[in-house]
Amino acid sequence: MDLLRQLRHFTVVGEELHFGRAAERLGMAQPPLSQRIRELERELGVELFDRSRRQVRLTPAGAVLLDEARELLAGVTRMRELVARAGRGEYGTLRVGVPPELPGSVLGAVLTEFAALAPEVQLELSEFTTAEQLQLLAGHGLDAGLVHHPLDPAAGLESGPVIEPPLGVVLPRVPPLAGEAASGGDITLAELAGRALVTYPREAAPALYDATLAACRDEGFHPVRVSTARSPEVMLGLVIAGHGVAFSHPAIARKEPRVVWRPLAPRAPLWRLVFAWPARAPHPAVAPLVRAATGILRGHEGGALAASGPVAEPAPRPWNAVYERS
Amino acid sequence: MNGTDITPTGELPDPPELLVPGGEIPYPPDLPHRFELLGARLWLHARCVDCGRAAGHAEDEPVVLASVVKVLLVLEFFRQAAAGQLDPAERAVVRAADRLGGTGTAGFHDDVELSLRDLALMTMSVSDNTAADILFRRVGRDTVQALARQLGLERAQVTGAPREVLESMLEDLGAADADAFASAFAALPAEEVHRLRALDPARTTSATPREMTRLLSLVWNDRAGAAAACAGVRELMSLQVNGARLGAAFDRFTTVAAKSGTLPGVRNEIGVVTYPDGARYAIAVFTRTTSLSTRRPDLDTAIGGAGREVVEGLRGCCGRADLSSPPGD
């Protein structure tokens, strides 16, 4: 027997206090409705309606049940709505891993954007290295993670678009590099020759670590020493103290006026990120998260005009066009 | 709390506000009409920096700030410098892709390297949009918006650096590059120019005239940040090269520190005038014209004149002479 349906029928009778009108409202015939109410009374072992007079009335037990049933039915409706919204990724908790080196300003922008897209999804953020995240994702300990690209195809994960944050080199401000680079130009790996390197520990992302060192060596930068730092703060500290140069997103270096950040010339190591999530039974809120994050991570630092490259000298400059309007 | 404005709760003490019974003083009643004769609409607010007495016209309507927003930007810059979050001597390079035209480094031919504080100087003295872009990038667009909120400028919205204003125009016109934009913009009918996002207070950087005089009052009372930060803003506003608006309306014994804002159809200026007797008045004048000319000496003169007339109506408001103890402390 379907208790919820019985209760729904009961509340209508309880509101109408008339079996005929209640049956009409429920779109059914009266005899089966009366039968359902009798079944409910048998089930509960009480009389719900006083049928002794001309008019149907609720018994005290019936009155209590009417209140309870309304509350229960409202709870069920709410439950259905929440479950449906959770199914669409609009409600629930999303456990997301982020790498410790993600700049705070970028992370803040992602979270703000995601909150606007899915206001009722609670984000549970944790910092983990790529290696740790991959392990957690495999065991469904995380719903999604921002990890270094590429992924092992055998890992049972799906991933979003590849994000390539601007990568550059962090140097102590003093002493400056010789030549053009000191005035803010791009730096090639070869110009770093003779320096030490500060980077993340190999176990954090082994494939990336190996690829980075290989790219350095290929371009003639053989670090005289490699130190490791898990957090950006320690990395900056080591750079300031002269323990080496480091690769990072500009937003990290810009927090600290004692270092400078320079873009790396082409043929530098690439630190690409992707969002990954379990291929099996993914959390429905992963899609809006990836959408929000990809837009922000790609758009950070420079918009459309920045992407269009240098303005050719003879071309009229846009502000001139605006101001010269008459 | 010497030198800092923010209480532990992040609240900001109010600037002196309307202490004089009787509230606001009427502005010269025919002022808006006189602007209409010049083809312009007027929004105006003036207040005594010391007693808060004020006068205005449409002073609570949002207006396009244009370059007036640079006051907020530079204030945030000086606040971060005072807090040790950036080094004002940090060097930045202005590259070809940064130079979008206009005054200062924005119109330079070659890459140039300068310190952040000199970018601030260029931003304020000649309204250099590229210098402002780079400063915005360094101090953060979101932090400038946050500063406006923190200072109680509830309506103020900062949608981005000058670059973003320009990008919105390129987008609105569907122009692929600077070249296409220049020709498309020159050929655009006036009514379509007025429909650009960059000229709509709801969709671009905007605030109300009253909020702008509030900002100036806070800066002039050392309440918009550390005293050094406020002093930095006051100094740079006194170095503005454009003296055609408020600057031209007051005699040489009155000092004027101001920041202009100009876009096609938009002419603004905010500033503080200090009389020889020490009385100080914050003024915010915003105008819109249907004509798009960016050269309007008649309107520049009218903007200065309006500021002076309103301030003259306020003169003697608090009978101040003693600068050693600002009221409200």
Mention every residue, 6+ apart, whose C-beta is less than 8 A from residue A27. none
Average pLDDT, chain A: 83
- 3-state DSSP percent of chain B in helix, strand and coil, to 5: 40, 15, 40
What is the DSSP secondary structure assignment for residue A187, as one 8-state letter? B
Q: Give the residue with greater pLDDT, B29 vs B11.
A: B29
pLDDT at residue B18, rounded to an integer: 43
- CB of A315 within 8 Å of a chain B CB? The answer is yes
Nearest 5 degrees, angle CA B261-CA B216-CA B245? 40
The answer to whether B149 faces chain A, any CB pair under 8 Å, is no
**Nearest C-alpha in B relative to A309:** B97
The ipTM estimated for the assembled molecules is 0.81
Residue A44's CB is within 10 A of a number of other CB atoms, namely 15
> Using a CB-CB distance cutoff of 8 angstroms, which residues of chain A are in contact with residue B143?
none
What fold characterizes domain A168-263? D-Maltodextrin-Binding Protein; domain 2 (3.40.190)
The CATH code of domain A89-164+272-301 reads 3.40.190.10
Distance from CA of A65 to the nearest CA of B (A): 50
Window from A37-41, A56-60, A83-87 with minimum mean pLDDT = A83-87
Mutate to test the interface with A, among B166, B172, B193, B262 (most CBs of A within 10 A): B166
Show residues of chain A in contact with B80, CB under 8 Å: none
**CA–CA distances in Å: residue A108 to residues A286, B73, B283, B300:** 17, 21, 37, 43
pLDDT at A162: 85
Options 3.60.20.30, 1.10.10.60, 3.30.460.80, 1.10.10.10; CATH for A3-86 is 1.10.10.10
The token pair at B127 is 């309204």
pTM, two decimals, is 0.61
Please check the confidence at residue A302 and state whether its pLDDT lies above 60.
no
How far is A292 from chain B, CA to nearest CA, in Å? 18
pLDDT in tens, B112-142: 999 999 999 999 999 999 999 999 999 988 8
Chain A partners within 8 Å of B86 (Cβ): 257
* B129 three-class SS: helix
**Whole-angstrom distance between the N-terminal and C-terminal Cα of chain B?**
11
Q: Find, in chain A, the residue whose alpha carbon is nearest to that of B187.
A: A325
Eight-state DSSP code of residue B278: S
A307 contacts chain B (CB < 8 A):
no
Paired strand residues for A259: A172
Structure tokens at A245: 């140069």
Sign of the torsion angle spanned by Cα atoms B79, B83, B89, B94: negative
Q: Give Cα B3 distance to the centre of its chain.
A: 23
C-alpha span between B267 and B265 (Å, rounded): 7
Is B101 within 8 Å of A317 when comparing Cβ atoms?
A: yes
Contacts of B208 (CB under 8 A, 6+ apart): B43, B45, B59, B60, B61, B62, B63, B155, B156
Rg (CA), chain B: 19
pLDDT at B320 over 90: no
Longest pairwise C-alpha distance within chain A: 105
According to the model, what pLDDT value does residue B166 have? 95
User: Which of A178-182, A263-267, B251-255 is most confident?
Assistant: B251-255
Q: Residue A254: its chain B contacts at CB < 8 A? A: 138
* CA–CA separation, A142 and B51 (whole Å): 59
| Range scoring the smallest mean pLDDT among A27-36, A93-102, A103-112, A122-131 | A103-112
Domain ranges of chain A: 3-86, 89-164+272-301, 168-263
Closest alpha carbon to A19 in A61, A54, A43: A54
For residue A113, the chain B residues in CB contact (below 8 A) are: none
**Are A89-164+272-301 and A168-263 in the same CATH fold?**
yes
Model confidence pLDDT, tens digit, residues B286-317: 999 998 887 899 999 999 999 999 999 999 88
